[in-house]
Amino acid sequence: MEKFKDQSTLHLFEKGLITENQFEEVKTYRSLKIFSLNAELKLFLYLSVLLFTSGIGILIYENIDTIGHIAILSLLLIVIAVCFFYCFKHSKGFQKSETTFEHPVLEYLVLTGNILTCIFIGYLQFQYKPFGEHYGLATLVPTIVSFFCAYYFDNRSVLTIAITGLAAYVGLSVTPQDIFNDSNNLYASQSLSYSAVMLGVLLVLWTIYSQRISLKAHFGLVFLTFALHIVSIATISNLTGYETLTWILFALILAGSTYYFYKASYQYKAMSLYVFMIVYAYIGGNIVLFRIFENVDFSDIWELLIFLLPAYFIGSIIMFIKLIKNFHKEIAE
């Protein structure tokens, strides 16, 4: 591979597209023969956090009656305290802009500490019921802790935990595997769909607000991603409902959210938002089209429809290619 890389730099130089200085710079850099294990080692750290906290979680779950409760709680508390002690010691304090730790390990310590805190509170609630029957509160407290950690230490992974916690408080499960399997059963419960839409709107409003006061503006994309998926899935699963008024209402909501996220993805230059926005809009649009024609009797001309189908898809493909091209052009500037 190396020889081809060097070759293409040379070609660029020969074509006069890069200057001699730049060419020399690249050449000296390549001669260092850097083989970076940055991503790999970080992934290891990350895996170790996942393994460790999963292990602890199961350990507590399985032995919940055998080991002394106080022993478990105090052990957890000590580990949490150690994690957060190091994090606070090395953190630069709260900052409105993006910050990173000097040492990459600390970022993962924050994650460990946070997950363990959540386990701790869950265990506490299960055993001693400090929140009584207010189960919502038992979700809300870890959520608040996670939001605090996410904002204080500037940690994206913790932020996603916090958002799932917030959604859980509303009554939604937004972990990726649940939201796509529709384990929330949005189709059956309309009120949950309304709360999903409300949650989405709330997330969007918060993003706009923090953008305005420039508070951790780089978190915006995370919030918007959650909002897009929550709102779109909630509306699409309600498009097939029986009542005409309901599905028209949700179609309008979907149209509105599509418009907003169209604008937002240009603003954030985020391809992932843009693509999913289009996909949801396309699915929703097709369902709406189907609903409009569902009462028309096509039984005489269904062959014609099948012949039209390829043309329809070709048309959609051309449209998508145009949309994507436009987007590339816009964000390049």
Partner 1 sequence: MIVYNKQLLDNEVLTDEADALYKGGFISKEQKKFIEKELPVLKSQKNILVRIGFFLLGCLLFGSICGAISLFGLSAENTFFKICFYIFAVVGFAGVELLANQEYHNHGLDDAFILNALLCLGAAIGITTEGYEMVIAFFVAVGALFIFLRYLHVISMLVFCLSATAFLFFGMFEFGDIGKAILPFTAMIFAGVFYFLTKKMLNRLNERYYYNGLLLANSFCLVLFYLSCNYLVVRELSAELLGPEVKPGIDIPFAYFFYAFTFIVPVLYLVQALKTKDRLMLWISFLAIGFSIYTIRFYHSVLPIEVALTLGGIVLFGIAYFSIRILKEKESGLTFKPDRINHSDSLLNAEALVVASTFGMKPEVKPQASPMEFGGGGFSGGGSDGSF
**Residue 123 C-alpha from the chain's centroid:** 27
- Of residues 1 and 296, the one with the C-beta less far from partner 1: 1
- Of residues 63 and 243, the one with the C-beta less far from partner 1: 63
- Minimum CB separation of residue 180 from partner 1 in Å reads 11
Please give the Cα distance from 41 to 179 (Å, whole number).
31
Token pair for 320: 């998508």
Length of the chain equals 333
Residue linked to tokens 């597209």: 17
**Residue 77 C-alpha from the chain's centroid:** 29
- Of residues 249 and 276, the one with the C-beta less far from partner 1: 276
Please give the Cα distance from 260 to 238 (Å, whole number).
20
- Minimum CB separation of residue 300 from partner 1 in Å reads 15
Please give the Cα distance from 41 to 124 (Å, whole number).
34
Q: Are 165 and 114 in contact (CB under 8 A)?
A: no
Please give the Cα distance from 225 to 211 (Å, whole number).
15
- Minimum CB separation of residue 247 from partner 1 in Å reads 24
- Of residues 107 and 204, the one with the C-beta less far from partner 1: 107
Q: Using CA of residue 69, residue 71, residue 77, residue 79, what is the dihedral sign?
A: negative
Q: Please, where are the H alpha helices in 63-155?
A: 69-90, 104-128, 135-153
- Minimum CB separation of residue 112 from partner 1 in Å reads 9
Nearest CA among 89, 78, 79, 35 for reference residue 53: 79
- Minimum CB separation of residue 13 from partner 1 in Å reads 11
- Minimum CB separation of residue 188 from partner 1 in Å reads 15
- Of residues 196 and 247, the one with the C-beta less far from partner 1: 196
- Of residues 80 and 278, the one with the C-beta less far from partner 1: 278
What does the DSSP 8-state code read for residue 219?
Answer: G
- Of residues 203 and 247, the one with the C-beta less far from partner 1: 203
Nearest CA among 254, 252, 202 for reference residue 227: 202
- Minimum CB separation of residue 243 from partner 1 in Å reads 26
